[in-house]
Structures are given as C-alpha cells and as structure tokens.
Amino acid sequence: MKILVTGVKGQLGYDIVNECQKRNIEAIGVDIEEMDITNATQVCDVITQAKVDAVIHCAAWTAVDKAEDEVDMCRRVNRDGTENIARVCEALDLPLMYFSTDYVFNGQGEMPWKEYDFREPLNVYGQTKYEGELIVEKLKKHFIIRISWVFGLNGNNFIKTMLRLGKERGEVSVVNDQIGSPTYTYDLAKLCVDMIQTQEYGTYHASNEGYCSWYDFACEIFKQAHMNVKVTPVDSNAFPAKAKRPSNSRMSKDELDKHGFKRLPTWQDALERYLKEINSL
C-alpha cells in the first residue's frame, strides 16, 4: 500500500508517516512546500503523479484564536484545501481520511457527543472544520476522525507548555471548567494506519480513554514529571480568549466499538509514555 500524508511537519502527520514506515507501508509525506493544499492545480498534480492508494489529510489551520481575525485564510485552508483534496480523491476513487475536532459541537451539557450528533460550532476554527466534514462525507470512501487536546513529539502542545511554565514559575493557573480527553498522536497514528487499510468508512471519535479538565491534566503532568508545581484551578473567564471554547468535549467511541477497532489507551498511560519519550530525546 502507498499513502500520501499531508501536514507531515505537524504532530500527527509526522507520527503517521513514522507508523507507516514501521509497517513497511510506503508513505509520501508532504507539507506546504511540496503541496500547497489551497492550490487546486498543484494538489491534483501531486496526488495524481504520486499514484497512491489512499490519502491521509492531516494538514489544517489550527491557530484557534488567530482564526477569529483571519477568517478567510482559515477557511481557505480548512474548507477549500480539503475540497481540493476531496475532488482529486473522488476522481481517482481513493479513500480519504480527514481529521476534525470536538469543536464542531456546541460544547454544552455533560453527555459524551455521539459521532452523528447535531453539529453547531462555537468558533471560526470549528466552523471551517465542520465545512470540511460536509465536503468529505459526500465521498463514498471516507473516514472522518474527530480528535481533541492533541499532543505529540513534533511541535508545541499543552504538556510542553506546562513543563516549561512549571520550571520557569513554579506555579500555574489552569482552567477547570472545560472537560475532554487528551489525544497522543503516537497512539492515534497506529489506529489510523489500521483503519486506512480497511473499508470501514464513516465518522469516528478517537482520543485517549478517560475524561479530565485541563486542571486535572496539568496536575497529572507535574505528578508524573516529579515536579513540585502549585496548580491553581480557575474558570475560563480568567483567560479571556477571542475564540469561545467548548466546556464539554467528551466524545463517545461507539463507532470504534461497532466497527471492531481497538480504543486508545488511557490518557494517563499515554502521558507516562510521552514523558519518557521526550526525556529520552
């Protein structure tokens, strides 16, 4: 099997290419230098010439607050870029895997969001990812995978920020009124490479098992890192942001179960392995 992976410089794209290589699956990793997804002609040329069996589309605009000011650019990447890829996949009859987000929901309540619940994004980023979903779900051969609170080796994330602030300040304030599940890209990549080799098309939620607040997450980071850092719980009003965040990012994994895919390990287990990995670098 031969797979084209967009966004190879990001946390997830990097891990998916590595996972493919471990399994002797040929992976062509591209980023903006090799294939600008907003350029329809370039997208068509690169995918067609690569002669691949599937496309895993990780590239996205993920600067959530910046998106509120740069709406057009965010939409060009998340909606139009996705449409350019989807069009080529449809023409070549290729499966397309697209990554979306818990931000497509309105973030209210306390029940886990089911895969086919009504979508009502809270912010520009969520809206553009939702628009990307609408395009991808029209394809016969599609996987939509919603993820949340992502962390991986290649790039910045909440864990790296907490470790840095903990060392610099010895204390941090973290919101305790947003609940969700962290997602380790190493674990997610394994699931995605399993999935792309099947025909179990549809929409899935894939984050590490268990729920926590950002405050809980921070406490566990410092506990596992053996750092004596004071963590103060605060509500979201303490950190005013341009983009509204969902308070409920719990996601149901019913579709993973239904299609026979193994759920990801607990987020605490993922965190432990991740800390070992970054300490060994």
Per residue in 114-141, pLDDT (tens digit) is: 999 999 999 999 999 999 999 999 999 9
Buried b (16+ CB within 10 A) or exposed e, 136-166: beebeebbbbbbbbbbbbebebbbeebbebb
Domain holding 35, by residue range, is 2-156+184-208+250-264
- Compute the average pLDDT of residues 30-50: 98
Q: Which residues are catalytic?
A: 125
Q: What's the structural domain count of the chain? A: 1
Rounded-to-integer distance, Cα 261 and Cα 95, Å: 18
The verdict on residue 220 lying in a domain is: no
Of the pLDDT bands very low, low, confident and very high (cuts 50, 70, 90), residue 65 is: very high
DSSP string over 147-168:
E-SEE-SSS--HHHHHHHHHHH
**For the chain, what percent of residues have pLDDT higher than 70?**
100
pTM above 0.95, yes or no: yes
The verdict on residue 278 lying in a domain is: no
**How do beta strands 179-180 and 212-213 pair?**
antiparallel
Q: Is the pLDDT of residue 165 over 90?
A: yes
Specify whether the CB–CB gap between 185 and 15 falls below 8 A: yes
| Residues 6 or more apart in contact with residue 223 via CB below 8 angstroms | none
The verdict on residue 188 lying in a domain is: yes
- Compute the average pLDDT of residues 42-61: 98
Q: Is the pLDDT of residue 101 over 90?
A: yes
Rounded-to-integer distance, Cα 98 and Cα 142, Å: 8
Q: Is the pLDDT of residue 155 over 90?
A: no
Q: What CATH number did the domain enclosing 99 receive?
A: 3.40.50.720
Q: Is the pLDDT of residue 281 over 90?
A: no
DSSP string over 54-75:
EEEE------HHHHHH-HHHHH
- Over the stretch 166-180, which tens digit does the pLDDT of each residue have? 999 999 999 999 999
Strand partners, 100: 146
pLDDT, residue 266, reads 98
Residue type, 122: L
- Over the stretch 222-260, which tens digit does the pLDDT of each residue have? 999 999 999 999 999 999 999 999 999 999 999 999 999
The verdict on residue 66 lying in a domain is: yes
The verdict on residue 191 lying in a domain is: yes
The verdict on residue 28 lying in a domain is: yes
The verdict on residue 223 lying in a domain is: no
